[in-house]
Structure formats: structure tokens, C-alpha cells
Structure 1
């Protein structure tokens, strides 16, 4: 085969994979980058206009420093989620018949990896374009291109590698990798931000992305702007780029080496040994390969009889998984209380544990019943099913939050007259709101979008609700952290309760409006 013909075949394969990725989270993840850019721009301008932040005369309100939240919390989890969802989608579709193409498995994997890398590049373009456009609109020119262009390159390599590692995790672990990959990536982001300025960072891969970003964005590892004359300004960024490129190459090699996984992990996909050769599956004696033909069935009427949605959902919801996670949450809060005191434990509970537990419960509550949703709708209305689901989930989470609050030393703090008692007062409403949001997004937009929204919500909780100066003026923009907001400003508990109930009702209403179409999609 000539070189031109081989190039044409590769181009056709890449074009086919690009077409197959159309209208999937691979490209839908670009919305996260756009939302991150808009979020940082709004946050920077709001903080400056309210006198909460001095930009020091930097370009565009020192927006590059605000962009440090992207590598510190968002870039790697979303990259890993994109790769994991792409691989999980292929497994659920049984690779869409591509195993029968006269194309080697390694070449197909490389084409899919190229699509992920192109999506990672597009994500960085979408992140930086609004920032540069905003600077031009303010009449401040293109700004320090020598800083944000290398930053974009660094993010491209880092998120591309995270996407490949996410796909590898899903290929090895199946559906478990979809949740595990972004969770591990988020932990790596936090650990990287903590250890980016420490000695020996070269031996800790989770610090590479943040280490190279510090001099480019002009921040410390905790996103505090660098002081004039700080030695961090002079740190080179290219060693991080080289190390991340090596990690990228290793992830790509491993992804190509690991064979494709069939649905459920029961075997590996068999491919054609030669071009044009057909290998039919083995079949047992008496098994027909012809497709059965069914007569058209009339629409099933709503079944009569006594309705028991509460009992049905009690049997469906994943109580075992929730109980295990609840035990881990209480143990974690107890450990933080023992090591750092009740103040830190209560902050971790309000900023991290409450929103994360509600998000996980909301997503898994829908996933547990999505397959049987069409059958459930034959016996009960959509609104009743969703309301009972959210009610059961909130009651369980409220009980766990109460135990965690006691483990964090909240009762002792309340006796001493501190505000954490108000956190316990509004916790059921904040949990209801967060659970309804995760449940509705997972039902209407899919698991990947729900995880992306959860990561973004957790970031707002940590940045706004976790900073007393920003929380004073911007707390309505951080609903996931309203439990912590009330603990520091108890006078807002009535307003937080009302807003949480209103947002929960909006989430329930969205589920009612789109519940039937979601049930049809889940049942196909």
C-alpha cells in the first residue's frame, strides 16, 4: 500500500471517529471550560467592584490568577471524566460494530485517542478565548500572551493525558472507572495544589500540572497572588510540560496495549484477522441466529391495584452503597476532628461532605431506578415517584449529617454559643436542594453532565463559601456551600432555607416535565 493510500485510510478513520463522537460528552465537555472562563471573569469583576480584591494593576483584573482554580480543581477531573465516558460509551454500544472493520485494534484506539486530544485542545481554546476577548473589550489589548499561551499548552497536555488515563481506567474497570477516574483526578488536583511549591516535586506526578502553572498565572499553590519579587516568578514551566508529555505518552502506550473490553467485562472484543474476513460468533445446538419478529403491541394501560411507591422505591434505592459511604463519611469527619479540631471538621462537613454526599445520593438514586422507570410509570405518576425518591434520600442524608455533625464536635460548639447549630438546622434543606439538582441533571442530561456540574458546584463551595470575605457579598452564587455560609452568618438561615426549598422545587418540576422522555431514553 502506498504512503498516500495509507494516509487517506488514516484520515478516513479519524473522520469516522469524529463523526461517532458527535453530540457526546467528548465535545459537550467544552461547556465546562466556557462556564469556567465566565465564572472566573464574573468572580474577578465582582470581587474588584465590591472592594474585596486589589488586582494590583494587572491585565484584565488579574484574571490569570483567578484562572488558577481551573488546574487546581477542574481540569484533571473533567479530562478524566471525558475519557472515561468515551470508553464507557463504546463498551455500552459494543463499539458500534467497529470491531468488524478491517482495521487493527491499535489503529482504532489511536483514532479515538486523537479525538480525545483534539477535544482537550478545543477545551483550552474555549477557556482562553473569552478571557482574551474580555481584555480586548476593556481596551487592555491582548495582554501577556507569553504567559497564557504556555498555560494553554500545559493544560492541553495535562487534560489530554487525564483523558487517556480515564479511558484506560474504564477499559480496565468498566463502569466503575467512570466514577473512580474523576474522583482520583480531583484528589490529585488538591494534592498537587498543596505540594506544588515543595521540594522534590519532580517525583510526585500529581504536582506537575500545578507546579508549571504557578509562574504563568502568578499565584501560589493556594491561588493567592504572588508577591513582587517572589522567586516563583522565575520558575521555568517547561520541565512540567516535559514530564506531562512523558506521562501522556505512557498513558497512550498503555491504552493501546490493553485490549478492548466488552460490556460487563466478560470478554474481549475479537477483531477480524484479515481485511474482509468474517468470523461469526459460536452458537450452541438448537440456537437460532434469526431475529424474532413481534407483532405491534398496543400501548400498555396504567395498571390497576393498590399503589405503593414508597415500598417500591425502598426496594430499589441503593441503601447498601449509601450506608457504606455514610460510615466512611462519619469516620472521616471524626478523624479530622481528632487531628485538627472541631472548627476544621465542621468546615469540611459544610464545604465538602454535605454537597458531595447529596450529589452522590442524587446521581445514584436515579441510576438505581432508571432501568425500571418505564414499568414504575405504569403504576404511579412521575411527580409522585420523584418526590418520594427525593424525600427518602433527604431523610437518610439528614440522619447521616446529624451523626457527622456530632462527630465533628458540633454539639459542643453549639453549647459554647457558636453558629454551627444553624448548620444542622438548615442541613436538611440544603441537602434536599443539592440532591434534587444532582437527581434532575442526571435524569435529564446524563451522568457525565451531572458529575461536571458537581465538580463546578464543589469549586464554588470551596472558593466562595470557604472564603469569609467573598462569602459576605457573593454567597448566593455558592448554593452547595450554604451550610457553611449559615454557620458563619447565622442570620441568613431563614433566607437560605427558603432559597433551598425554592431550588429543590425547581429541580422537582424539571424532573416532572422531562420525566417521561427520560424514562424512554433509559429503557432503550
Structure 2
């Protein structure tokens, strides 16, 4: 009886050509334990609990504006935390994969999928973190007796920074892949500083690190320092939001293309 020795073992095609969804699911499975998932789950809780307690003791609380103070300060912190989280998570995730990549890059799997999968997986964790923040803000509204009427644009103010911040995740993963952990954390620090110092300036659109914070300002009606803005302030112009979304989408696509190219040429 003759055997076809050239025939591939069962499942080889699937193993060497997994879908992007499979790669993302594998990345998420690998992040079930360790610092990164716990950070994404607990960071919103850690920042909101003391901020709510502080809001209870504020002078505005006596005027029945406890939730408004809590919401504004929380969203201010969140706007600068999104890029900081992107840099930190990317740095730790890529560093943890250095040994695994020595094996994975030897397979016939299209290498670019590893990069896209990591960005997407960290993006999913960011979405989970944003959802936890929304839950905490909702609890604050309930405890203040202002749910749901005071929620207003809170949902948009929570999720839009995450959506715009995907560009920072892609940038941080690319920097971590090319230059290592330190520069990737530097991306997060730059995002924190630019969110606080540049997001309300006229040239904010030229500084990607400031984009997550910029979409928060008109929705929450606050400046980068958490102080409510006057109604005639140009910072409250909502036209900055679609512009930031378009810029972030374009940058994300460009970074994914560059990242795929880099992974395809990366030496084992």
C-alpha cells in the first residue's frame, strides 16, 4: 500500500494559519493571570473610591453637587490614565512575550497577526476597564441620589477616551516591540503629561498623546485641571470629538501596518 508522505498532518493548516480572532483569544487567555488584568480591573476602583470620599467633603457637596464634583475629577484622571495604561500594559505584555516569540516566530503563522492580536487584546482589556469605571460612576450617582438624571454624557466620556486611546495602545506596542520596555512606558508618561498640558491648547490635534483627554473635555465641560469651563470656552466645542476619532483611526491603521511589517522582518 502506498502512502502520501507529502500529506500534512491533520490540523496543520489551522495551526499555521490561525484567524486573527484566534490569536486575540489566545492573547486574552494568556492575560488571565498576573498584573495586567488585575490592573485593568482595579485601577478604576482605586481612583474612584477616594475621589468620591473627597467629593463628599467638598464645599460643592453642601449645594447638592457631590456627584458633579466626583464625575468631573474622575473623568479628568481617566483622560490622562488611558494613555498611561496603554504604555504600561504594552511594555509588560511585550516583555513577557520575548521568550515565547522565539518559538512562535519559527512557525509558519503570518507574523503580523501576533502584533495585531496583542493590540486588540490590550484594547479589549481597556474596554473592560472602562466598563468598570462606568459602573463605579453609576454607583456614585446612586449614592448621591442623582441616578440616572445626572449621568448625562458620562457613557460617552468613559468610552470615547478608550476608543481614541487605541491609537496609543498600538503606538506603545510598536515602541515596546522595537525598542523595549522603557520607551514604551515613556509613551504612557508622555500621554499623561500631554493630556494635562496640551489637551486644551489650539494645537492639540498635532499631539496624539493629548487626544484621549481632548475628547473628555467638551463632554464633561471641564478643563484638564477638573475645573468647570465657561460656556463660551472654545474647549467645549464638540467638533473636536469627531476630529479626534478620525485622527486616532488613521493613526491606528498606520501603526498596525507598520507593526505588521516590523514583525514580518523580525529576527528570531
Normalising TM by the smaller chain, what interval? Answer: 0.7 to 0.9
- The 2-side partners of 1:42 and 1:251 are apart by 40
- What CA distance in whole angstroms lies between the structure 2 residues aligned with 1:241 and 1:56? 36
Find the counterpart in structure 2 of residue 238 from structure 1: 242
Q: Deviations over 1:246-282 (max 9, x none)?
A: 2222222222221279xxxxx712xxxxxxxxxxxxx
Partner of 1:179: 182
Measure, in 2, the Cα distance between the counterparts of 1:89 and 1:8: 21
Aligned residue in 1 for 2:6: none
Partner of 2:32: 22
Map Cα deviations across residues 454-493 of structure 1 (whole Å, 9 max, x no partner).
xxxxxxxxxxxxxxxxxxxxxxxxxxxxxxxxxxxxxxxx
Asked whether the equivalents of residues 79 and 166 of structure 1 are also in contact (C-alpha less than 8 Å), the reply is yes
1:10 CA drift (Å): 4.3
Match of 2:196 among 193, 200, 217: 193
Matches within 5 A, 1:446-485: none
1:244: how far off?
A: 2.0
Alignment deviations for residues 161-213 of structure 1 (CA, whole Å, 9 cap, x no partner) = 22222221111113xxx233223432343233223232233223333222221
Match of 2:86 in 1: 79
1:65 and 1:223 in contact (8 A); partners too: yes
Given that 1:27 and 1:119 are in contact with CA atoms closer than 8 Å, whether structure 2 keeps it comes out as: yes
Q: Where does residue 253 of structure 1 map in the other structure?
A: 257
Equivalent residue for 1:476? Answer: none
CA change 1:57–1:159 in 2 (3 A) is same
Q: Kindly indicate whether the alpha-carbon contact (under 8 Å) linking 1:14 and 1:111 is maintained by their aligned counterparts in 2.
A: yes
Select the structure with the greater relative contact order (CA < 8 A; seq sep ≥ 6).
2
Task: Find the counterpart in structure 1 of residue 230 from structure 2.
Answer: 227
- Relative distance call for 1:251 and 1:29 in structure 2 (3 A) is farther
Q: Which structure's CA Rg is the greater one? A: 1
> Offset of 1:62 from its aligned partner?
2.8
Is the contact made by 1:191 and 1:206 (CA closer than 8 Å) also made in structure 2?
A: yes
In 2, the alpha carbon distance for the partners of 1:260 and 1:155 equals 30
How much has 1:66 moved relative to structure 2?
0.6
- Change beyond 3 A, Cα 1:249–1:224: same
Q: How many residues align?
A: 252
Alpha-carbon separation, structure 1, partners of 2:173 and 2:95: 8
- Residue 214 of structure 1: how far off its partner (Å): 0.8
Structure 2: where are the runs of 5+ without partners?
1-13
Paired with 1:144 and 1:101, the residues of 2 have a C-alpha distance of 53
Question: Aligned pair in 2 of structure 1 residues 132, 13: CA closer, same or farther (>3 Å)?
Answer: same
The answer (yes or no) to whether the contact 1:148–1:217 under 8 Å persists in 2 is: yes
1:243–1:58 distance in 2 versus 1, CA, 3 Å: farther
1:261-410 maps to which residues of 2 (within 5 A)? 268-269=267-268
| Structure 1 pair 45–249 and aligned structure 2 pair: CA distance change class (3 A) | farther
* Equivalent of 1:154 in 153, 160, 163: 160
Residues 1:35 and 2:41 aligned together: no
Q: CA RMSD in A?
A: 3.0
2: CA distance, partners of 1:215 / 1:10: 36
Task: Answer yes or no: is the 8 Å Cα contact 1:33–1:127 preserved in 2.
Answer: yes
TM-score by length of structure 1 reads 0.43
Residue number in structure 2 paired with 1:208: 211
Any idea what the Cα deviations from partners look like across 1:113-138, whole Å, max 9, x if unmatched? 22111011111111221111221243
User: Structure 1: which 5+ residue stretches go unaligned?
Assistant: 262-266, 270-524
In structure 1, distance between residues paired with 2:71 and 2:115: 35
Shift of 1:110: 1.9
What is the CA distance between 1:146 and its match in structure 2? Answer: 4.6
Q: 1:217 to 1:55 in 2, by over 3 A?
A: farther
Q: Which residue of 2 aligns with 1:62?
A: 69
| Structure 2 equivalent of residue 367 of structure 1 | none
Q: What TM-score comes out, normalization by structure 2 length? A: 0.80
Quote the residue 2:8 is aligned against.
Answer: none
- Give distance in 2, aligned partners of 1:152 and 1:55: 26
Confirm or deny: 8 A CA contact 2:164 2:244 kept in the other structure: no
The answer on whether the counterparts of 2:112 and 2:264 sit within 8 Å (CA) in structure 1 is no
Q: How far apart, in 2, do the equivalents of 1:34 and 1:138 lie?
A: 17
